[in-house]
Amino acid sequence: MQGFDLLESVYWQPFKYIHLTHRFFNINSETVIYTWITLAILAALIIPIRFILHKKGILRFVLITMIRESAEMSKQTLGEFSFNHYVFVMSLFFFIFIGSIIGVVPFIEEPTGDLNTTLALAIVTFCYIQVYAIKVNGLWAYAKEYFSPIFIMLPLNIISKLATIISLSFRLFGNIFGGAMITKLALTATQGSLWLETFALLSGFNLLLIGFFGVFEALIQAFVFAMLALTYLALALKGEEMGLEPTEGNT
Amino acid sequence: MIELGILFYFITIACVIGINSFGVGIGEGLTGAAALDATNLQPAARNEISKIALFGTVLTETSAIMGLTIAIFMLVRTDPYSLTLFKGIATLGIALAISLSGLVVGIVSCWPAREACFAVARQPFFEQNIMRFMLITQSIIQTPLIFALIVAFMISAQLDDVRTLSGAIRLFSSGLCFGIGSIGPAIGLADFARVACRGLGINRHAYGTIFSFTFISEAIVETPIIFALVVSLMLLFSQAPRDNIIVCAAMLGAALSIGIGTIGAGISSGRTASAAVDQIAKKPEIYPTISKVSMLGQGIIDTSAVYALLVSVLIILFGQYM
């Protein structure tokens, strides 16, 4: 039966029966499956972490130090500690980190190497920032920001706000996708001959490649995405005070 | 006409490996000179300085390795006798994308290594952290190369479908757009990394603040590269339904708009961030104020790149219907 060979086809077409077969409405099945695997790993990590937290030991110390350091960093950026923002940013960090590092496992591709995932993450971040900017500054001050120098700047202000979505999503996508592509290319290049493959395996070339593009790049990109979300949030929340601070320093 | 296509194909391979190696050679030479100068300043730290210089040159060499990969890939995959003139023009796009970004990244990624050598000469006991910091900043400078590799592979994947002049110019301008667009941001990134490494040599107690500031600032400085990548991907996935000279001109115009528009934004955004990190190194306690001012300034500078992006996107959207 058509439409039920879900695991066979790469693209699902959920709106096929109401004649929406444009490429825009397709769903990439691999990304969906790997995203669910990422979420399952994140959920399964709760059990060992609870186990670690209830026992004294070096791991508990490391974990608590990590959490304290990241909370300190978010406090330094935002000016004051806020549990909501901290949890939001850390969940972004862990999702992107696990979602990018999962490509190390054979036969699994990174869900963050798909533009749809990164675009969704960027749109969620953007909406979160706008909602909190309205909540904190008030609707009037928020709307006034769009007409800031003069009212003609309205379309340009809107575009420069939307540009944050583009820059956030394409930065993550480009780095993870490019890294995965380089790794795949190098691994297939050595596959031909037995000599090359043995050499690459024994000399640590494969390990270096996967370690750099799989683990290191994943960590850096997750950190950058989370920190940028935090910084944009800080800028949006403190929009009014920004102009005053330099003059205070001068007097 | 077939011979001209083959000529362009071999010019591409020569450019990809030759120009990249040229840049890398200059960069490695500058790093070595800085290492010798630093050893003259502080002869007791010669072991640490030589280690830093070694790792710095290894990371500088990434650009040449990337060029070698592309050259071997093209030699193995493409049959030169199947190339027409239009396919030859399209392969020149690969040459532009890889060699322009590789040249700039190769020369420029020696700057943090140079300053790291002098920083170690000043603070020999802080060598571990300085080296870690230098490696991270240098590997962030290599991001234009990864993006250029994506563009090059997508161009070479579409090479077989090129039959018209406007199709060839579409792929050519996609490479041109990314090649020119990566020059400014790469210089900005390296300038920032240079000043940050020097700051570590001045004040090693500012390590934590400089470290977290580096990630945010370098991510914002490389925003124009991402705009160039977006335009380049749009050119790759757009269709040119008509084959006339106006469509070709529109594609080239879109590429030049975002390419030249990002040069100023990238360099000046990097200079803003490097001035901020200079102040943070001297006075780490003013980090919250300085970082917000710097980020606001960078955001306003990036607006010019956003306008260039807007113009390019409009040209691509309307240029197809001319």
**Residue A89: band (very low, low, confident or very high) from pLDDT cuts 50, 70, 90:** very high
pLDDT in the model for residue B121: 93
> For residue B22, what are its two tokens?
């040229």
Examine residue A105 and state whether it is found in any structural domain, yes or no.
Answer: yes
Question: Quick one: pLDDT at residue B2?
Answer: 64
Kindly tell me if the per-residue pLDDT of A5 is higher than 60.
Answer: no
* Predicted local confidence at residue B108, as pLDDT: 93
Query: For position B186, what pLDDT does the model report?
Result: 95
The percent of residues above 90 in pLDDT, for chain A, comes to 22
* Residue-range definition of the domain harbouring residue A218: 83-239
Asked whether residue A152 carries a pLDDT value surpassing 90, the answer given is no
Q: Mean pLDDT for chain A?
A: 83
* Alpha carbon of A47: minimum distance to chain B alpha carbons (Å): 30
The pair phi, psi for residue B209, each rounded to 5°, is -70, -40
Fold of B2-319: Four Helix Bundle (Hemerythrin (Met), subunit A) (1.20.120)
A166 with B291: Cβ contact below 8 A = no
Number of domains in chain A: 2
Same domain, A74 and A188: no
Q: How far is CA B293 from CA A50, A142, A245, B134, B272, in A?
A: 41, 20, 9, 25, 10
Average pLDDT value for residue range A79-91: 90
A156 lies in the same domain as A186: yes
Per-residue buried b or exposed e for B142-154, using 16+ beta carbons within 10 Å of the residue's own CB: bbbbbbbbbbbbb
Are residues B112 and B218 in contact, defined by beta-carbon separation less than 8 angstroms? no
Q: Does residue A126 share a domain with residue A50? A: no
Q: Are residues A231 and B73, on separate chains, in Cβ contact within 8 Å? A: no
How does DSSP classify residue B105? Answer: H
User: Per-residue pLDDT for A8 more than 60?
Assistant: no
Closest by CA to A102, choosing from A91, A93, A113, is A113
Of A163, A177, A238, the CB nearest to B150: A177
Each residue's pLDDT tens digit, A201-240: 888 888 888 888 888 888 888 988 998 898 889 888 875 4
Residues A57 and A130 in one domain: no
Q: Is residue A39 situated within a structural domain?
A: no
Residue A146, in any domain of the structure: yes
- The token duo for B272 is 């803003």
Looking at chain A, which residue has its C-alpha nearest residue B306? A160
Model confidence at A251, pLDDT cuts 50, 70, 90, reads very low
pTM summary value: 0.82
Same-domain pairing of A170 and A224: yes
The answer to whether B204 and B129 have CB atoms below 8 angstroms apart is yes
**pLDDT for residue A9:** 57
A76 vs B222: CB contact, 8 Å cut-off? no
Q: Is B2's Cβ below 8 Å from some Cβ in A?
A: no
Same domain, A170 and A192: yes
Query: Do A91 and A77 lie in a common domain?
Result: no
The single-letter code of the amino acid at B181 is G
**Predicted local distance difference test score (pLDDT) of residue A246:** 44
Residues A154 and A173 in one domain: yes
Tell me if chain A has a CB within 8 Å of the CB of B237. no
> pLDDT digits over B44-98, tens only?
989 999 999 999 999 999 899 889 988 988 888 777 777 888 888 999 999 999 9
CB contact under 8 A, A163 and B222: no
What does the pLDDT average to over A150-178?
85
Judge: A170–B139 Cβ closer than 8 Å, yes or no.
Answer: no
Of residues B239, B226, B249, B231, the one with CA closest to residue B313: B231
Asked if residue A19 belongs to a domain, the reply is no
Q: What is the domain partition of chain B in residue ranges?
A: 2-319
Q: Are residues A129 and A158 in the same domain?
A: yes
Is any Cβ of chain A less than 8 angstroms from the Cβ of B222? yes
Are A177 and A200 in a shared domain? yes
Contact A146, A157 (CB under 8 A): yes
pLDDT at A13: 77
* A179 chain-B contacts, CB cut-off 8 A: 146
**What is the pLDDT, as a whole number, of residue A2?**
44
Per-residue pLDDT at A250 exceeds 60: no
The answer to whether B150 contacts chain A (CB < 8 Å) is yes
**H or E element: which one contains A19?**
none
Task: Classify residue A191: in a domain, yes or no.
Answer: yes
A152/A170 same-domain check: yes
Q: What is the pLDDT of residue A88?
A: 93
Contact between B287 and A179 using a beta-carbon 8 Å cutoff:
no
Give burial (CB, 10 Å; 0-12/13-18/19+) of B261: buried
Q: A134 and A232 share a domain?
A: yes
Interface ipTM: 0.71
Chain A positions contacting chain B at CB under 8 Å are: 73, 76-77, 79, 156, 159-160, 163, 166-167, 170-171, 174-175, 177-179, 181-182, 185-186, 212, 216, 220, 223-224, 227-228, 231, 234-235, 238, 242, 245-246, 249
Would you write out chain B's pLDDT as a tens digit for each of its 322 residues?
A: 568 888 999 999 999 999 999 999 999 999 999 999 999 999 998 999 999 999 999 999 989 988 998 898 888 877 777 788 888 899 999 999 999 999 999 999 999 999 999 999 998 888 899 999 999 899 889 989 989 988 998 898 888 888 888 889 999 999 999 999 999 999 999 999 999 999 999 988 889 889 888 988 888 898 899 889 989 988 888 876 677 888 888 899 999 999 999 999 999 999 999 999 999 999 988 888 888 888 888 888 888 888 898 899 889 888 776 6
Residue of chain B with shortest Cα separation from A248 = B289
Q: What is the rounded distance in angstroms from the CA atom of residue B69 to the CA atom of residue B102? A: 12
User: A171, A177, A183, A188: which to substitute to probe chain B, counting the most B Cβ within 10 Å?
Assistant: A171
Return the minimum-mean-pLDDT range out of A34-48, A63-77, B35-49, B248-262: A63-77
pLDDT at A249: 42
Residue A251 inside a domain? The answer is: no
- Pick B296's closest partner by Cβ from A160, A179, A242: A242
Please report whether residue A132 resides in a domain. Answer: yes
Q: For chain B, what is the mean pLDDT? A: 89
Would you call B223 and A160 a contact, using CB atoms and an 8 Å cutoff?
Answer: no
Is residue A227 included in any domain, yes or no? yes
Q: Do the chains contact at A234 and B229, CB–CB below 8 Å?
A: no
Which residues does chain A have within 8 Å of residue B144's beta carbon, measured at their own beta carbons?
A: none
